[in-house]
Chain A
Amino acid sequence: MKLLNNILNPFIRKEKPIIEARIKVLRFRKFLENARTLMDLIEDGKEKLKEEYILDRSYISSLVDKVIENVRMLVFNACMLVPEGGEILYKEFDEHKILAQKDILNIISEKSISPKDKNESEEPEYRLLRNAVTWMIGPFSKLRPTVMDFIKQTFDHVIFGLSKFVYPQGIVSQLDLNKSGNDYHLDIIQLEENIILKNRKKLAINDIQCRPLGFMLMDNEKSMNIDTKSLSNQKNWFAAVSRDYLSLSTKNPQNIILLDAQLSGFVDSDFIFIFANKSITLENLLPKGFRVEKTNLGTMAWNYDTPKNIMENHLAYLSQKILKLYN
């Protein structure tokens, strides 16, 4: 046993940083999945409120339960990614949960719901659904944060925390390339291959089998009109890649850009997520069809439920806009 440990220990020591880096990227992907589910649930509640749907109390309680469960998973993954400050997130999550229990779920569990007063024209189920949607996205009459506010706060917690994460030297490969006359430098880890990369191995584009990155690095002759003067001293990007997945980020907490994309060909699971801090006007860099949300730290944008060829075009377009910010 001791002999086996002696043989394995150097291997484990070398593998540990790369495994930790991979786990962070994969955990962030889970975090994004929770967030996407939450966005869909919130949209569903909004739509049911707008349209003339036949619904009952079990729909509302199921919607609220699913939102609570996904926010709980979001907070869990956020705290695994960035443990510092996690107790504040859990405390605030509890407050949102208690509020939902008191204002929505307890009322639903009562056998009969009666209108508030004689002048109340809205049916009680729709009034409850309205309460649930207000709990999720507001507006609240008082200065009380909504679930959506809390989701954004959780994103800020994670993205700012991750921007300070330093990938250990020696675990990454490097890619230097010239695209449309600009030089780029990427530090790369591979998410799927179980290999120890000796020193800082230089890669060629063809070495990287990653669909999203492939579309980003495709040549494109469209003009780029981004003012990069204030950002010109930032040169490095970090990319975690697998065949279908790319997690691309800058390494500087002062100028955060983060792009995660899945391009597997399955519309249900493919997406592009981008976050940029306040120094960048992200809205001006996006192609049409992105859902944009402002946070205290910056702006995040999503694109999903989009056909594969449009996603590919989006990535090619974004590469012109985003890579150039730090070329």
Chain B
Amino acid sequence: MENRQLRIMVIDDEQIVGKRLKSALEKTGDIIETFEDGVKALERLNNHPFDIVVTDIRMDEIDGIEILEKVLAKSNQTKVIMITGYATVEMAREALAKGAFDFIAKPFKPNDLRAIIDKAAKELRKN
């Protein structure tokens, strides 16, 4: 995979997370789509492939683990990065065991997530 724009999907039911991540991650020229609703995010994924999916673990309608499973079932090339909050470290471990690329705990700085995305992009380029 050449050094091209990445298509990154961000899923978090907290509006502030998508809003802040979109503006921070777009600075490097990647294409960012944000969703507060996990179901709508999965519908979008069915029609459009994404290189990287960044998803919160704990959400009301559909949780991050289910999203991870569905994303990987559709394409095991996609790198899924989990966002964990307070008291969800156990779920993060479960996500890693199920094939998540990495996880990051809130609160975090966008640059910390960018470092993980860069690592994921390197992996994608290898394939």
| Residue ranges of A at the interface with B (Cβ–Cβ < 8 Å) | 48, 51-59, 62, 123-126
5 interchain residue pairs of minimum CB distance: A55-B107, A56-B14, A53-B107, A62-B86, A125-B16
A55 to B20, CA, bound (A): 10
B24 at interface, CB cutoff 8 A: yes
Identify which of B69-77, B108-116, B119-127 touches chain A. Answer: B108-116
- Interface residue tally of chain B, by bracket? 10 to 19
B22 to chain A, nearest CB (A): 11
Closest to A59 in B: B107
| Cα A55 to Cα B12 with chains together (Å) | 11
Decide yes or no whether B21 CB sits under 8 A from chain A.
Answer: yes
Contacts of A53 in B (CB 8 A): 107-109
Judging by beta carbons under 8 Å apart, are A123 and B107 in contact? no
Known: A123-B16, A123-B19. A54 touches B86 (CB 8 A): no
Task: Report B-chain residues with C-beta under 8 Å of the C-beta of A55.
Answer: 16, 106-107
The reply on B49 being an interface residue by CB < 8 A is no
Closest to A62 in B: B86
Assess whether B17 is in contact with A56, with CB atoms less than 8 Å apart.
yes
Contact A57 B14 (CB under 8 A): yes
Of all chain B residues, which has the CB nearest A61? B86
Enumerate B90-119 residues with CB–CB distance to A below 8 Å: 106-110, 113
Residues in A with CB closer than 8 Å to B17 are: 54, 56
| Residue numbers in A under 8 Å from B106 (CB-CB) | 54-56, 58-59
Q: Which of B1-60 contact A (CB under 8 A)?
A: 12, 14, 16-17, 19-21, 24
